[in-house]
């Protein structure tokens, strides 16, 4: 959908991807709008898989209005808290043995769909991941809680990733917002996290990016709607004036040009009346057109007129 100011028969649909937002997603609009230095209007947010891309961002960011709304979604989604708020204590350090085990397992699954047949089902696999660390000394104060424990009523524990871990993950996300098994394994080793943690982080990060994008899209649509409403209001006013001219042409004869637009009676196009004073005879033909004096119009754009306005105006 090419949305432009020239399209006057507009209907604006506000059904964006935000319809699927959770009711919990009541984030205020936190837009990070920047004026792009070039007209590329490309979002710095990492490329989403084609089936995940937000349609509005693709379609509207290239529009005329959209140029003022370059989106810094990726940056905006970074942890907004000051660095001091991060403890800097890596509470996710798992024993070297556990890390190796995870890495080995992930290495086994690094080729797509090659699996460990001993564990059936993803739920079982995750329980396996959660439950393997029974000798972990940090278990009581970390996330190493099995489903069984959770079922016993002990609340699941969740601790934040360290500042460095988050930064590395963020850096990786900027390069590619989805992970192949090799990349995941590399991050697992580098961050000393479980594969599931890296996986979840990327899932949540993608969700945050999408949420931000949705917010930006909504904001853009609001602005677009405001612009179109204003244009519509202006055009309605002009329509009223043109109708008034049609009703009382004698009155028009004694009037100064009403507004910014004037309609050519022969071709029924409208142009800026301020420019019609530049008297340039129609170069299209040497034979004098009956309405030749009206062809001083400069046709900037065709404007579809309502049927009731399609009859030529009697100006002289």
Partner DNA sequence: ATCGATGACCTCCTTACATCA
Partner DNA sequence: ACTGATGTAAGGAGGTCATCG
Residue 70, H or E segment: strand 70-71
- Residue 207 as a binder of DNA (CB under 7 A): the answer is yes
Alpha carbons 35 and 103: distance in angstroms, whole number: 44
- Residue 112 as a binder of DNA (CB under 7 A): the answer is yes
Residue 71, H or E segment: strand 70-71
**Selected binder of DNA within 42, 203, 260, 310 (CB under 7 A):** 203
Is 182 within 8 Å of 162 (Cβ atoms)? Answer: no
* Count of residues engaged in binding DNA, rule: CB under 7 A: 65
What is the DSSP-derived secondary structure letter of residue 313?
P
Q: Which among 197-205, 248-256, 278-286, 306-314 is the span making contact with DNA, rule CB under 7 A?
A: 197-205
Residue that the structure tokens 């604006």 belong to: 12
Closer to DNA by CB, 48 or 69: give it: 48
Among 216, 182, 184, smallest CA distance to 202 is for 184
Is 301 within 8 Å of 64 (Cβ atoms)? Answer: no
**Selected binder of DNA within 74, 179, 218, 263 (CB under 7 A):** 179
- List the interface residues with DNA, window 10-69 (CB under 7 A): 17, 20-28, 30, 48-49, 52
- Residue 200 as a binder of DNA (CB under 7 A): the answer is yes
Give min distance, CB of 151 to DNA, in A: 8
Task: Name the token pair of 291.
Answer: 């309405």
Closer to DNA by CB, 18 or 276: give it: 18
**Selected binder of DNA within 37, 88, 158, 256 (CB under 7 A):** 158
**Selected binder of DNA within 136, 199, 219, 241 (CB under 7 A):** 199
**Selected binder of DNA within 10, 59, 107, 159 (CB under 7 A):** 159
Task: Name the token pair of 45.
Answer: 């947010």
Closer to DNA by CB, 119 or 291: give it: 119
User: String of b and e for 109-136 (b: at least 16 CB within 10 Å)?
Assistant: beeeeeeeeeeeeeeebbbbbbebbeee
Closer to DNA by CB, 43 or 197: give it: 197
Closer to DNA by CB, 3 or 48: give it: 48
Among 1, 4, 73, smallest CA distance to 224 is for 4
Give min distance, CB of 107 to DNA, in A: 11
Render 259-286 in DSSP notation, one character per residue: SSEEE-TTT--EEEGGGTTS----TT-S
113: left (phi over 0), alpha (psi -120 to 50) or beta: left
Give min distance, CB of 220 to DNA, in A: 19
Give min distance, CB of 294 to DNA, in A: 54
Binding mask 118-157 for DNA (x = CB under 7 A): -xxxxx-xx---x------------x-x-x--x----xxx
Residue that the structure tokens 């609340």 belong to: 155
Binding mask 244-283 for DNA (x = CB under 7 A): ----------------------------------------
Alpha carbons 236 and 222: distance in angstroms, whole number: 21
**Which residues make up the interface to DNA (CB under 7 A)?**
17, 20-28, 30, 48-49, 52, 77, 79-81, 85, 87, 92, 109, 112-117, 119-123, 125-126, 130, 143, 145, 147, 150, 155-161, 166, 178-179, 181, 184, 196-197, 199-208, 210
């Amino acid at each position: 959908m090419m949305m432009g100011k020239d399209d006057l028969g507009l209907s604006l649909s506000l059904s964006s991807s935000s319809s699927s937002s959770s009711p919990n997603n009541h984030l205020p609009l936190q837009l990070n709008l920047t004026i792009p230095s070039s007209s590329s209007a490309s979002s710095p947010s990492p490329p989403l898989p084609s089936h995940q891309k937000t349609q509005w961002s693709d379609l509207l960011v290239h529009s005329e209005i959209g140029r003022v709304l370059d989106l810094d979604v990726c940056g905006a989604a970074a942890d907004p808290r000051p660095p001091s708020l991060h403890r800097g204590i890596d509470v996710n350090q798992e024993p070297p043995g556990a890390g190796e085990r995870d890495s080995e397992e992930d290495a086994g699954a690094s080729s797509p769909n090659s699996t460990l047949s001993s564990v059936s089902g993803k739920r079982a696999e995750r329980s396996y991941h959660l439950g393997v660390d029974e000798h972990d000394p940090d278990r009581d104060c970390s996330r190493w809680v099995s489903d069984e424990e959770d079922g016993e009523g002990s609340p699941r524990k969740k601790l934040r990733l360290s500042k460095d871990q988050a930064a590395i993950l963020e850096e990786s996300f900027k390069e590619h917002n989805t992970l192949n098994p090799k990349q995941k394994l590399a991050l697992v080793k580098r961050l000393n996290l479980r594969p599931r943690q890296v996986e979840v982080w990327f899932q949540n990060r993608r969700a945050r990016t999408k949420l931000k994008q949705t917010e930006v899209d909504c904001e853009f649509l609001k602005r677009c709607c405001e612009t179109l409403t204003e244009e519509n209001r202006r055009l309605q006013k002009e329509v009223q004036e043109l109708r008034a001219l049609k009703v009382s042409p004698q009155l028009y004869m004694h009037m100064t040009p009403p507004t910014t637009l004037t309609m050519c009676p022969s071709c029924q196009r409208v142009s800026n009346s301020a420019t019609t004073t530049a008297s340039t005879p129609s170069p299209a033909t040497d034979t004098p057109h009956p309405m030749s004096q009206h062809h001083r119009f400069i046709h900037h754009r065709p404007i579809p007129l309502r049927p009731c306005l399609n009859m030529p105006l009697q100006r002289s």
